[in-house]
Amino acid sequence: MRTAGLVLGLGLMLQAPIVRRPPVKPVDPNADEQQVPTIRVETRLVNVAVNVVDKTGAPVGGLQKDDFEILEDGKVQKIAYFERESSTPLSIVLAIDGSESVLRNERLEKNAAKHFVNALLREQDELDLMDFSDSVREIVPFTNSKKRIENGLNEIQRGDATALFDAIYLASDRLAETKSDNGRRRVVVLITDGEDTAKRSRYGQALEQAQRAGAMIYSIIIVPIAADAGRSTGGEHALIQLAQDTGGKYYYVEDPRDLEPAFARVSDDLRTQYVIGYYAPQKEKGGAAYRSIRVRIKDAELKEKYEVRHRTGYYGDGK
Q: Is residue 33 a part of any domain in this protein?
A: no
**Range with the poorest average pLDDT among 109-118, 121-130, 135-144, 242-251:** 109-118
Are residues 240 and 289 part of one domain?
no
Evaluate whether residue 22 is within a structural domain. no
Do 182 and 248 share a structural domain?
Answer: yes
CA–CA separation, 185 vs 316, rounded Å? Answer: 18
pLDDT tens digits, residue range 257-310?
Answer: 888 999 999 999 999 999 999 999 987 666 678 999 999 999 999 999 999 999
* pLDDT band, very low/low/confident/very high, at 100 (cuts 50, 70, 90): confident
What residues make up the domain containing 55?
50-85+280-315
Say how many domains are in the chain.
Answer: 2
Same domain for 247 and 194?
yes
> In whole angstroms, how large is the CA radius of gyration of the chain?
22
Which of 231, 219, 229, 216 is CA-nearest to residue 259? 219
Closest CA to 49 of 95, 85, 17: 85
Query: How far, CA to CA in Å, does 319 sit from each of 11, 188, 308?
Result: 8, 21, 29
Write down the pLDDT at residue 196.
80
Checking DSSP bridges between strand 45-53 and strand 274-279, what pairing results, if any?
Answer: antiparallel
The chain-wide mean pLDDT, for the chain, equals: 83
Q: What is the pLDDT of residue 235?
A: 80
Residue 30 lies in a domain: no
Percent above pLDDT 70 for the chain = 79
* DSSP 3-state of 190: strand
Same domain, 116 and 58: no
Confidence band (pLDDT; 50, 70, 90) for 3?
very low
Same domain? For 74 and 97 the reply is no
Q: State the pLDDT confidence band at 60, using cuts at 50, 70 and 90.
A: very high
In sign, the C-alpha dihedral spanning 154, 127, 317, 238 is negative
Cα 116 to chain centroid, rounded: 17
Domain-embedded: residue 23? no
Instruction: Please tell me the least confidently modeled range out of 16-20, 74-78, 185-189, 214-218.
Output: 16-20
| Residue 85 pLDDT exceeds 80 | no
Does residue 7 surpass a pLDDT of 70?
Answer: no
| CA-to-CA dists, residue 231 to 36, 225, 226, 227, angstroms | 70, 8, 9, 9
Same domain, 117 and 156: yes
Q: Do residues 79 and 276 touch, judged by C-beta distance below 8 A?
A: yes
Please work out, in degrees rounded to the nearest 5, the angle formed at the alpha carbon of residue 233 by the alpha carbons of 110 and 215. 60
Q: What is the pLDDT of residue 183?
A: 83
What's the pLDDT band for 98 if we cut at 50, 70, 90?
confident
Helices (H) then strands (E): counts for the chain: 7, 16
pLDDT value at position 105?
62
Does the pLDDT at position 254 exceed 60? yes
- Any domain includes 20: no
- Whether 130 maps to a domain, the answer reads yes
pLDDT at 43: 63
**Domain match, 250 and 164 both:** yes
CATH number reported for the structural domain that contains residue 228 in this entry: 3.40.50.410
Nearest to 275 by CA among 92, 84, 91, 14: 84
Chain centroid to CA 169: 12
CB 198 within 8 A of CB 163: yes
Domain shared by 294 and 228, yes or no: no
**Helical residues (DSSP H) of the chain, grouped into ranges:** 106-120, 146-153, 164-175, 203-213, 234-246, 259-271, 300-305
Tell me what pLDDT residue 35 has.
53
Range among 17-21, 30-34, 95-99, 147-151 rated most confident: 147-151
Burial group, residue 224, by CB count within 10 angstroms (0-12, 13-18, 19+): exposed
Predicted confidence (pLDDT) per residue in 8-31, tens digit: 443 333 333 433 444 444 545 555
- Do residues 162 and 228 both lie within one domain? yes
Residue 40 lies in a domain: no
Name the more confident of 183 and 48: 48
Assess if residue 231 is contained within a domain. yes
310 and 211 co-located in one domain? no
Verify that 148 and 208 share a domain, yes or no: yes
* CB contact at 8 A, 37 and 21: yes
Same domain, 108 and 135: yes
